[in-house]
Amino acid sequence: MRNSLPIRFRFRFRLIPFVATVLLIALGISLAQWQTRRGDQKQAIEDAMKQRSMEAPLQLSAALQNVDQIEYRRVTVRGEFVQNWPVYLDNRSYKGSPGFYVLMPLKIANSNVHVLVERGWLPLNPQSRASLLPYPTPAGVVDVEGVVVKHAGRVLQLGQPTALQPGAIVQNLTIPELATASKLQLQPFLIEQTGDNHDSLVRDWPSPSLGIEKHRGYEFQWYALAVMAFLFFVVTGCRHGRKDAKNSSVGERE
């Protein structure tokens, strides 16, 4: 009866798998760190939203504001709606129903400066898409309450953009575009109106989808990829080393 020789474990270094492993680890760590930064940025935005929502409303004047300093801040502004320059954002739904966001410049009282107000959601006319349902606009000086945001959000642009003009139905809109088309001096932000002007528009605005949890999940996945690549390289190297040890043992017995 022959004594069995112990199997010796050896690690066999192979250049090509090593290079592939290094590249996978570098890729995994790089993408994980990018997801970490994106998650941290959005966490900072969420913290700013919570903090600024608790502050007292800011009385907005004609002085041009830095949007980064007052974004998500509750504000009040007194002025008069420019009723001959409404713009409608298409493909905006509310609780599954199609419709539009109604945007209209507001001339700030005692000035020539305007601020764009996102007044609310208007349902689609079931009889004709091109014919909007009527809604009232208060005349004269009014007080508008709302929250400062940089833009009204974007949707997938289908086809060529519609020319920007009074009453235009567009899919996306930027404030510089509106300022150029209307020749109005505009604050570099818009206000999501929250106060009621008895105009039948819906002002149940969706919360920004920050997706912080998504970034944290992707961060974990990319780090896991880097770890798995390293473990796979070590395990496969040991297997080949074990085979070499077994072959060597067989040769010695012969």
30-86 tens-digit pLDDT: 998 998 888 888 787 777 777 777 778 899 999 988 888 888 899 999 999 999 999
Is 50 part of any domain?
no
Same domain, 101 and 179: yes
Same domain, 232 and 118: no
Same domain, 180 and 225: no
Same domain, 126 and 181: yes
- Strands of 133-232 (E only): list them: 141-149, 169-170, 185-193
Is 203 part of any domain?
no
Domain that holds residue 94: 55-193
147 beta partners: 74, 192
103 beta partners: 87, 118
pLDDT tens string 138-165: 999 999 999 999 888 877 776 677 788 9
How many domains, in total, are found in the chain?
2
Same domain, 150 and 69: yes
Residue 86, C-beta contacts closer than 8 angstroms, at least 6 positions apart? 102, 103, 104, 166, 167
CB atoms within 10 A of CB 147: 21
Residue from 1, 19, 32 nearest 225 by CA: 32
Same domain, 184 and 65: yes
Give me the chain's average pLDDT, please: 84
CB-based contact 37:216 (threshold 8 Å): no
Is pTM beyond 0.85 here?
no
Same domain, 228 and 141: no
Same domain, 63 and 186: yes
**What average pLDDT does the segment 182-201 reach?**
90
Classified as helix, coil or strand, 130 is coil
Instruction: Using the CB atoms, write b or e for 4-25: b if 16+ within 10 Å.
Output: eeeeeeeeeeeeebeeebeebb
pLDDT tens string 240-254: 555 555 555 545 555
Same domain, 237 and 174: no
